[in-house]
Amino acid sequence: MPETTEDLGSTTLPGTALVREVAPSGSPATDFSVALLAEFVSLGVRDIVLSPGSRSQALALAAAEFERLGLLRLHVRIDERGAGFLALGLAIESGRPALVACTSGTAVANLHPAVLEAHHSVVPMILLTADRPAELRGIRSNQTTVQPGIFAGAVRLSEDVAAPDGSVGESDTAIALARLAYATALGTQTNNPGPVQLNLAFREPLSAAVELEAVALEAGAADAVLPGRPDAAPAVATGPPLPLPPGPRTVVVAGAGAGPAAEQLARLAGWPLIAEVSSGARFGPNLVVAYRELLGDADFGGQVQRVIVFGHPTLSREIPALVLRDDVETIVVAPAGLEWYNPGHRVARFVRAVAATDEAIVVAGTREARAWAGRWVMASRSILAQDTELDAPAFNTHGLSKAEFAAMKAPVTRAMLADAVWRASWPHDRLVLGASRLIRELDTRVTGKKIPVHANRGLAGIDGTVATALGIALASQAGAHPLSTGTTRLLVGDVTLLHDAGSLLIAPGEVRPRLQVVVGNDGGGTIFDGLEVAATAAPSAIDRVLFTPQQVNLEALATAYGWDYARAATRSTLESALTAPVARPTLLEVPLAR
Ligand SMILES: Cc1ncc(C[n+]2csc(CCOP(=O)(O)OP(=O)(O)O)c2C)c(N)n1
Ligand SMILES: [Mg+2]
């Protein structure tokens, strides 16, 4: 998430309405929905993701009015599972919670995967789940289940809100609820951002025609309310940082979501930096790419006495093994969230922030200290240099030698794909990585580069990945900011793409962002080929129940959903496909050997 903070409450004044109904609607459901959305907008919400349904119609029609006035960006998705992940992606990129509104029944349950990911990765999200009023519950009324509490411990708040009936003060109730939901989602008091649920009962008439007009806004002021690319993040209190003296031989580990603080500490204190590819810290002079090899080496990993962990490491077995060692002291740093990374319950300290002491910074400049980080960095470089696939010949159509020509025609390997996607990504782009093999391929090999990378590592699901990337693309490309001109690339396996194929559906009227979905197609889930059991179980059984072969025609799939399609089977076609401008949602299929 972006780092800067802003006073999120500053636009909220009691009685300051952003909109007013041109004429009374006659529907308490509509009036309540308008008051609720108006307050969310005034607090700083910019996006609402909506799925169709009857019970939620008041929210839906009000949202369409807010969109018409330029006060909200409305995203309509028929599948609530994708809608939830779209909201997740919007929030990851913008730092602001997006609203997700849906009808009652199974619609609500379909939000659960995204809610769990948001919960575990501490991303704000506000669910507006429509429900039957009290008198229609528990009597086998159509499309009615128990919605309050349905997300159990994954939401920070679950309010069951009685159906509005037009009583005096209902809009104040709506305003108070919006404030509570917004502050709770951002974790302002708790340091624990995450999903919240407002379960909103609605009674007939479920809505009425509504027309809104902006008030208290000068002409053009809506632009100020709904800026382009959001560049502000919620405030997360950290308290005073734990001072870190020079101390023992230390490495810094940056897992998913660690952010640049990990790199800064490693650089200032002169410690080797082990930064996973989606850590947001994979850059800088102390980066150690070949950490798996080195952690297993007595001269490197064996020498470590202290580990400072930022974020959530998930991509290797070597990191938890390091923390589990008796002779290693671990300090875990997390500015937000209540659940701490703690393999084997061996972590010594949990803190919100750390800072190298002045002494540590001075010591970092000494010859001995420089040698510690330097040795790691040099050893990592020489391990990578042994990788024959690394140095791809520059793409040059003139004067190719025979060997170079052959290399350009060579089939694409996973390593080649990982390198090419990394090379094609720049700071104004976004790179999103699905779970499974390809993220690990990047993690083992790509060198430092300060680019925005995201992966859903809260639960490392293969679900909702296309929708998450669409959310990140939409939020990053909104507005006229120079940084909003980039392309979002999603790198996924074939099974991961097919799991979320429904999210390829972008209806007419919806924004179609510059998203290139790059699919490494090896015909199934080849990550399981690496499991120990694959060496002992019958290959046919492994194929059937773990690999799960698929032969979907991805070109037909892309075309059916109106996406551009390209296929790159050789290095040269891959290079051109990744450097060509992406104007629309595009699917790039890259065949890979199993
Ligand atoms: C929702 C969910 N279901 C199942 C899994 C288990 N899982 C992890 S990777 C994987 C297969 C992924 O295959 P693919 O996307 O083709 O990537 P590959 O390993 O082939 O590179 C599965 C089923 C998961 N992580 N999330
Ligand atoms: Mg696969």
CB of 546 closer than 6 A to ligand 1? no
Q: Are 131 and 149 in contact (CB under 8 A)?
A: no
**Maximum C-alpha span of the chain:** 82
Mutate to test the pocket of ligand 1, among 496, 500, 546 (most ligand atoms within 8 A of CB): 496
Contact 287, 262 (CB under 8 A): no
Mode of pairing for the β-strands spanning 212-214 and 19-21: antiparallel
Closest atom of ligand 1 relative to the 435 alpha carbon:
9
| DSSP letter string, 462-529 | SSSHHHHHHHHHHHHHSSS-GGGG--EEEEEEHHHHHHTGGGG---TTS----EEEEEEE-SS-GGGG
Residues 6+ apart with CB under 8 A from 236: 5, 187, 191, 193, 335, 336
Q: What angle do CA 439, 444, 447 make, to 5 degrees?
A: 100
pLDDT at position 398 is 62
Question: Which structure tokens are listed for 274?
Answer: 């082990």
pLDDT score for 396: 52
- Of all protein residues, the one whose alpha carbon is nearest to atom 19 of ligand 1 is 527
Burial 20-44 (b: 16+ CB within 10 A, else e): ebeeebebbbbbbbbbbbbbbbbbb
Q: For ligand 1, what atom is nearest to the CA of residue 546?
A: 23
Alpha carbon of 496 to ligand 1 centroid (Å): 6
Query: Which residues have beta carbons under 5 A from ligand 2 (an ion)?
Result: 493-494, 522
Is the CB of 461 inside a 6 Å radius of any atom of ligand 1? yes
The protein residue with its alpha carbon nearest to ligand 1, atom 14, reads 493
pLDDT of residue 216: 60
Residue 198's closest CA among 158, 153, 152? 158
DSSP state of 198: E
Nearest-ligand number for the alpha carbon of 435: 1
Closest ligand 1 atom, residue 434 Cα: 15
Provide long-range contacts, Cβ within 8 A and 24+ apart, for 560-564.
561/504, 561/505, 561/506, 562/506, 563/504, 563/517, 563/587
pLDDT along the chain (594 residues), means of 10: 32 56 91 97 97 98 97 98 98 97 98 98 98 95 95 97 96 97 96 97 95 70 45 55 93 97 97 98 98 98 98 98 97 95 96 95 92 97 82 56 83 97 97 97 98 98 98 92 89 98 98 98 97 94 97 98 98 96 97 97
For residue 442, give every residue at least 6 positions away whose Cβ sits within 8 Å of its Cβ, in sequence order, or none: 277, 418, 421, 422, 433, 491
pLDDT reported for residue 483? 77
The residues pairing with 331 across neighbouring beta strands, listed in sequence order, are 308, 349
